[in-house]
Structure 1
Amino acid sequence: MNHTLETILNHRSIRKFTEDKLTNEQIHTLIKAAQQASTSSNVMAYTIIGVTDPILKNELRKVSGQTYVEHNGHLFVFCGDLHRISQLAKPEELVEMEETIESTEQFIVTTIDAALSAQNLAIAAESMGLGICYLGSLRNDIYRVSELLGLPEYVIPLFGMAVGTPAHKPELKPRLPFEAVYHENKYKTDESQQTSISFYDAQLQEYYQTRSSNTKTDKWSGQMIRKYRNPIRMDVSSFVKEQKLNKR
């Protein structure tokens, strides 16, 4: 197995970092890696904001509720961004472009482009011996995050990523079985899907009960039912539309 595959297959979220800050060289390398990700029609519909101001980090931690938003080697916030595209146009051209920019299709483009760039950055960071944790919790108050980061229209904060030198090494969390996520030619709706999920429930329950910290009794199916029975971040929809994305 080559080093790239070893890096990918050994991914785990790191939530405790040392006080070591990333160097400028490391940051530049990670951003360059992010930029080499595939992008729809070369739009590159994302912006990455590096947060170094301690006061700003503290405010973002308050939104997130997670200490590692504040205490890490470097904090990146990935934004879907079509503002850059809108700035290319003269006023009369922008009127003609608005229908496309504000479409659901282009909203999907921004989220995919940002996610692809983030995953490139994550793999690059881990290959350098660093750890990472994705931070969807910044959407707990998406309006506040937008205000803190001074985001213009056509820009939305999608998620953050804490990067730094790991201060712990958590166990590798198991994933759904191959058969549950890979369907050949057509989507499988037979009982084999439930069989795979039942197997994963047992596997994940064993993981929770035997890991070195925060042991508990839980199953994936129960987690998902609880998650989707309790609506959260419902203001994201209105925020996205107010930013003039996903309107059409």
Structure 2
Amino acid sequence: MNDTIASLMAHRSVRAFRDTPVTEEQLQTIVAAGQMASTSSNVQAYSVIAVTEPSLKRQLAVLSGDQAYVEQCPLFLVWCADFYRTCRASEMYLGEETTYEDSTESFMVATIDAALAAQNAAVAAESMGLGICYIGGIRNRIAEVAELLRIPELAYPVFGMCVGVPARQSGQRPRLPVEAVLHRNGYDPETSVEAVKGYDVKMVRYLRERTEGRKSTPWSKIMAEWLARPNRLHVRAFLEARGLLRR
């Protein structure tokens, strides 16, 4: 165990923040740390929008499903997969060449790049004593978010991230055991699924304690409900209209 691993193992989502602003120096450092994440072929196909304007955060909170902490946090980062910059910067060299920014592979490259950069940024923020919370809810009304933030074609908002000084210590949600996700020299289906049984017991105990007995649902049942829910099916049409994910 070292300081880096200890920080990673202490991660928890923060949903209550003090009024303390995130300084410009902290913001610059967080984004610069994000930029040092690995990126496919050095494409760096992502951008991040720092939102501090109260009225914008208020609108984003509503668009994200009335998540109050989006408005409350001092800094809200919107991480975007972005091929707009790549394509515009390359125009003078392309001529009549056929390009493939609309391919599934390009979509994956940009989305993965954004996620890798964001996680680097999250670790950097936590190392400064700040807390973060990822907000996938910005995809609930993704077209309205894109319009509000003036996100151009060939780019889309992947997720948001609340950043700020935690107002209180948050509980840490248990993760699947290592044996459920770690396979050696090939995928082991039986071990992976078998390990969920113990995790279900742990999650029931965690939820009972967290909710004072109001909830006690096993993880596997929560996942069954998640899989059976038609979640954000509008996103594909939005992406295609932006010039992404067409082939």
Using the size of structure 2 for normalisation, the TM-score is 0.95
Post-superposition CA distance 1:147-188 (Å, at most 9, x none): 101111100000000000001212221100111111112211
Contact 1:77–1:160 (Cα < 8 Å) also in 2: yes
Question: 1:181 maps to what in 2?
Answer: 181
Supply the distance in 2 between the matched residues of 1:223 and 1:94 (Cα, whole angstroms). Answer: 51
In structure 2, C-alpha distance between the alignment counterparts of 1:214 and 1:47, rounded to whole Å: 42
2:209 corresponds to? 210
In the TM superposition, structure 1's runs of 4+ consecutive aligned residues that sit over 6 Å from their partners are: none
> What is the alpha-carbon distance in structure 2 between the residues aligned to residue 111 and residue 58 of structure 1?
26
Secondary structure of 1:48 counterpart: strand
Question: Are 2:204 and 2:217, in contact at CA under 8 Å, matched by a contact in 1?
Answer: yes
> Structure 2: which 5+ residue stretches go unaligned?
none
Q: Give, in whole Å, the separation in 2 of the partners of 1:152 and 1:210.
A: 45
Unaligned runs of 5+ residues in structure 1 are none
Deviations 1:22-41 (A, max 9, x none): 01111111111111111111
Residue 196 (structure 2) pairs with residue 197 (structure 1): yes
What is the aligned partner in structure 1 of residue 115 from structure 2?
115
Note closer, same or farther for the CA distance 1:215–1:127 as it changes in structure 2 (3 Å cut): farther
Q: Is the 8 A contact 2:139 2:232 kept in 1?
A: yes
**2:121, 2:28 → 1: CA distance?**
11
Shift of 1:214: 8.3
How big is the shift at 1:90? 3.4
Provide the rounded CA distance (Å) in 2 between the counterparts of 1:23 and 1:187: 45
Identity of aligned residues (%): 44
Tell me, in whole angstroms, the C-alpha distance in 2 between the residues paired with 1:94 and 1:15.
Answer: 49
Q: Residues 44-80 of structure 1: CA distance to partner in whole angstroms, max 9, x if unpaired?
A: 0000000122111111111112101111121000000
State how far apart, in whole Å, the 2-side matches of 1:93 and 1:11 are.
44
**How far apart are the structure 1 equivalents of 2:136 and 2:57?**
15
In structure 2, how many angstroms separate the alpha carbons of the residues matched to 1:212 and 1:27? Answer: 34
Does the aligned pair in 2 maintain the 1:86–1:94 contact within 8 Å?
no
- Closer, same or farther: CA 194–89 of 1 in aligned 2, 3 Å: closer
Q: Which amino acid aligns with 2:242?
A: Q
Aligned to 1:53: 53
Secondary structure of the 1:70 match is: helix
Q: Deviations over 1:199-244 (max 9, x none)?
A: 0000011111123778521111011111111102111101111111
CA separation of 1:215 and 1:73: change in aligned 2, threshold 3 A: farther
Structure 1 residue aligned with 2:132: 132
Matched residue, 2:230: 231
Matched ranges for 1:1-248 at <5 A = 1-64=1-64, 65-90=66-91, 93=94, 96-98=97-99, 100-190=100-190, 192-211=191-210, 216-248=215-247
What SS does the corresponding residue of 1:4 show, helix, strand or coil? helix
SS at match of 2:61: helix
Superposition deviation, residue 94 in structure 1: 6.3
The C-alpha deviation readout for 1:117-175, integer Å capped at 9, x for no partner, is 00000001111111000000100111111110111110000000000000121222110
Q: Work out the CA distance in 2 between the residues paired with 1:125 and 1:215.
A: 33
Root-mean-square deviation (Å): 1.6
Aligned length: 246
